[in-house]
């Protein structure tokens, strides 16, 4: 069963409750080390239980289903509107079993960027540069790292869900992933 969160009427408390539930689901039944829950080893997780699905809905009632790998908390892809999208592999020699995800959807070709910060920054650079041209913040210029230029918060999460749902361009999807990964997995 998927974990669910909506940005509609979200408050800091509902977000915190959601993050606590996400952490609990990722580590349920797992041992702790110095009081900190430990993610499971991949050898201990069957393919069918390898991913935590998270349904995210924005204020416009657009929903995406995110897939998070339970062995490392990495986001590997998402489904929306009958299609599934997957990040390029972070570790090509140790691929997660994404074949079990999102049956019944049309699998779109793998995105050009992976889920590392450098991969996401490279993927989102075009849209961030375009947005920077319209924003005259004196503290941000072309030397400011891409990830630093991407604000985080409830409204940005709301927009990120919409960007992934619409899937207009890969740079916009990369921007959506940056916000979602930093606000959920980090």
Instruction: Give the C-alpha separation, 109 to 171, whole Å.
Output: 15
Q: Specify the higher pLDDT residue, 95 or 156.
A: 156
Which of 43, 142, 159, 186 does the annotation list as catalytic? 186
**Cβ 90 vs Cβ 181: under 8 Å:** no
- For the segment 43-59, the average pLDDT, to the nearest whole number, is 94
Is residue 60 part of the annotated active site? The answer reads no
- For the segment 157-168, the average pLDDT, to the nearest whole number, is 96
- Which pLDDT score is estimated for 149? 82
- For the segment 150-168, the average pLDDT, to the nearest whole number, is 94
How distant, in Å, are the alpha carbons of 21, 70, 91 from that of 97?
A: 24, 12, 12
- Which pLDDT score is estimated for 140? 67
**Per-residue pLDDT tens digits for 86-140:** 999 876 777 889 999 999 999 999 999 999 989 999 999 888 888 777 666 656 6
Tokens of 116: 């590392």
Task: Domains for the chain: give ranges and CATH numbers.
Answer: 3-184 (3.40.420.10)
The answer for 21, left when phi > 0, alpha when psi is -120 to 50, beta otherwise, is alpha
């Amino acid at each position: 069963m998927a974990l669910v969160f909506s940005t509609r009427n979200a408050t800091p408390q509902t977000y915190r409750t959601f993050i606590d539930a996400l952490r609990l689901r990722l580590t349920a039944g797992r041992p702790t080390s110095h009081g900190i829950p430990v993610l499971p080893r991949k050898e201990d997780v069957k393919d069918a239980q390898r991913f935590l699905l998270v349904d995210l809905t924005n204020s416009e009632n657009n929903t995406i289903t995110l897939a998070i790998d339970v062995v490392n908390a990495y986001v590997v892809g998402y489904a929306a509107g009958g299609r599934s999208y997957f990040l390029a592999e972070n570790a090509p020699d140790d691929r997660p079993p994404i074949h079990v995800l999102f049956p019944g959807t049309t699998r779109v070709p793998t995105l050009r960027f992976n889920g590392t910060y450098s991969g996401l920054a490279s993927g989102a650079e075009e849209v961030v540069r375009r947005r920077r041209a319209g924003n005259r913040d004196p503290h941000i210029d072309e030397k400011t790292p891409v990830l630093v230029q991407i604000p985080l918060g409830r409204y940005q999460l709301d927009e990120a869900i919409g960007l992934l749902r619409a899937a207009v361009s890969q740079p916009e999807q990369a921007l959506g992933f940056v916000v979602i990964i930093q606000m959920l997995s980090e």
